[in-house]
Structures are given as structure tokens and as C-alpha cells.
Amino acid sequence: MKNITILGVTGSIGTSALKVLDNHSDRFHLHAISANRQLDKLLEIVKKYRPNYAICADGEYFFNQTGKTSIECDGITIYSGSDGMERICNDNTDVVLNAVAGKAGVTLSFAVMPHCKELALANKESVVCAGNLLFDEAKKNNCKIIPVDSEHSAIFSLLKDKPLDLIKNIHITASGGPFLNTDKSEWSKISPADALKHPTWSMGRKISIDSATMANKGLEVIEAHYLFSMPYEKINVVVHPQSLIHSMVEMVDGEIYAQLGPKDMAIPIQNAFSYPDVIENNYSRLNFFNGFTLEFLPIDMQKFRMLDFAIQCGKREGIYPAFFNNVNEYLVMQFLDEKISFLQIEGGMEKSLELLEKENFSKKLNNVDDLVKIDQLSCEIASKAITFIKGE
């Protein structure tokens, strides 16, 4: 029986993780959970799964809802704010699933590693922003990092027992998002509602926009570079609209190993929870007898420029990957709030990178504390970039 902690339990990844627990209650015990808000949903989960305790990370929201800093629910304590998160970051558990979206999850990855045996990582920003710092911390604390992204979970499995010098290329698949066949001349008319309609996956708002711009695939390329010690020249992106092949590994002899599976995030989450064992899947399978088609298309880097920007930043290393991530997050929120157009996301990124080059300071990433400064700088530069591209 493994004790599981889920950070971001009310999101799409957290919901899929609970499905795994439903199907394997004899193997996994839900030890602790956290959510930023959504207190009603958090309480429902507490009543059903009865973890040892739960956290509402937004302390101000929690106090406004309850008038207290902690409450009891069926004999289980719900903590709030930094005091609650401090409890999770100082509690021993077997596996911590970090499903907190965006840069908010980065500091949590560092905080929990000394207190768990395995970090099941759905927060790709932890790898993108922190790079080698994250893996140095994992090594120091003897904590295994298991990727949960469907693409990286696939690569993680495919690379098992394969020497890196025999790997020719890694091929990360991309659905192409909702605008794969939309002419770019139409992009300025795209609304947030349009961009949130992902053709193959059900995801959160921010990651859905990232999928539409292909920024998400750029983050995945950077993540693969660090996770698998693979040079960027060996990491390719290929459009695969059906999203049934999650990634492929090409060997030097020309053979290509592909991981196929249904579009269900519960599977990579289950693999992370059960690692190194492989256990029965009781909820989702591919049926070859029903028939399906597998298509592959080259990526248009001029159309999806956010992917190109991300790879450029990854290759430059230092603060650039974190800068790209933070600026992208800022621009996506501006788009969702209808303050900029869909097309201005890439315009804002291009201008932000141009403004960064004019800043006279070191572009090295020295320690985790630098991430706070980079975040502040990213927001300031992105704000200036928006003003410029809007002609204000």
C-alpha cells in the first residue's frame, strides 16, 4: 500500500488521479490533498476518500468562505494558506503528484522532494524553469522524478534499458490543436471560447490555450531535454491528430518504438503511482477491432511560432526557458481575459524576447531564488511588450 499525496486535486489531472485510486484502492491510500480554491469540491473529495488531511492553499479565500483558518470535515482537518502547505511540505509520503498548473507548482516540487520517495510530475514548468537545479535537488534527496505528461511518460517507458548512445531521435507527438487546419490569416478572429475547444483532450484552460498555440509542445521539448539528457537536435515534434501514439523513440538502426494508448491521463498517472511495477488497467483500452487511422504530418514552425520561440529559449538555457514560460503564462491570461488577441500571444512573446536582450544583466540561472526575480522581470517585460504591440 503506497501513500499518495495529490497537489492540485480538483484540476483535470487530480480528477484523473482519483480515478486511479478508485480502481486500485487495495494498492494506493490517499494520504493528503491540496487545492487552491474550489472548497466545495475539496470537501466532497475529503468525504469520499477520507485522506489524513487536506489543504486549501488560498488562505484568504478560505477565510472568506469559512471565517476560520482551519475546519473539521467528518473528523478530518482542512488547513489553509501557507501553514497548510507547510504541513504537506514536511510530511513523509511515498508518492507526491504535483498537478498544480503553471509556475505556482515549481516551488512546490522543490519543497516536497525531501519528504517523498517519488515525485510524480505533471507540472512541466518545474523542469522547464528550474532545469538541472531540479534534478540536482532530486539526487541530493534520493527522490525519483517520474514524468506524468502522456508524451514523457511514453518516452520514459520506451527508453527503459535502452542505452542513450543507441537513440537516434525522440519524436514527441502533437495533436495540432484546434487550429491545425485554420489559415493563419484567420487567427486574429479567434476567441478564448474557440481556443479552449481542444479536438482530442479534455484539459484545463491554460494548457488548452498552450496547445492551441503549440507553446505547450515547446515546453515539452525543453522538458524532454532535461528529463532524458537528450540534445535538442535529437528531439523532434510531429503532428499526429488522433493522439493515439503518445511519443516514439527512433534507434540508430532505423527501428522506431512507439507507445500507443487511449486518450486517458489516468494511464500515465497510474504508471507513475505503481512504478516500477505495471498493474492492471481497469478503465480504458484501445480496441484494434474497431479500427482507427494513424496520421503523421510535419510541423509548420512558421505557423506555430510559439513552438519555435520555446526551442530557441531552451537551447539558450540560463534564464531563457523560465522567461519563456512566465511570459507565455502572462500572455495567455491576458488573452483569456480578452485584453489581447490570440495572434498577439506570439507577437507579445517575440517583443518580450527582443526587450530581454536589451536588459543589461546576467542571463545565468544560479539558484532557485533567481526564479522569483525572473518571474517579476518576465511580467514587467511582457506588460511593456503588450503596450508596444497594441500601439498604446
Domain boundaries, the chain: 2-147, 153-263+273-298, 318-389
Name the grid cell of 51: 485522506
Q: Are strands 167-174 and 245-251 parallel, antiparallel or unpaired?
A: antiparallel
* DSSP H/E element including 259: strand 256-260
Percent of residues in the chain assigned helix, strand, coil, to nearest 5 = 50, 20, 35
Q: For every one of its 392 residues, what pLDDT tens digit does the chain have, with 9 covering 90 and above?
A: 999 999 999 999 999 999 999 999 999 999 999 999 999 999 999 999 999 999 999 999 999 999 999 999 999 999 999 888 899 999 989 999 999 988 889 999 999 999 999 999 999 999 999 999 999 999 999 999 999 999 999 999 999 989 999 999 999 999 999 999 999 999 989 999 999 988 777 777 888 999 999 999 999 999 999 999 999 999 999 999 999 999 999 999 999 999 999 989 999 999 999 999 999 988 788 888 888 999 999 999 999 999 999 999 999 999 999 999 999 999 999 999 999 999 999 999 999 999 999 988 889 999 989 999 999 999 999 999 999 998 86
List, edge to edge, every strand of the sheet that includes 93-98.
Answer: 70-73, 76-80, 53-56, 28-35, 2-7, 93-98, 116-121, 144-147
Tally Cβ neighbours within 10 Å of residue 131: 21
pLDDT at position 83 is 86
| Burial of residue 111, with CB atoms counted within 10 A of its CB: 0-12 exposed, 13-18 middle, 19 or more buried | middle
- CA–CA dist 240, 249 (Å, integer): 15
Q: Which CATH architecture has domain 318-389?
A: Orthogonal Bundle (1.10)
- CA–CA dist 56, 39 (Å, integer): 7
* DSSP H/E element including 292: none
Same fold, 2-147 and 318-389: no
Q: Which fold has domain 2-147?
A: Rossmann fold (3.40.50)
Residue burial 308-346, b: 16+ Cβ < 10 Å; e: rest: bbbbebbeeebbbbbbbbbbbbbbbbbbbeeebbbbbbb
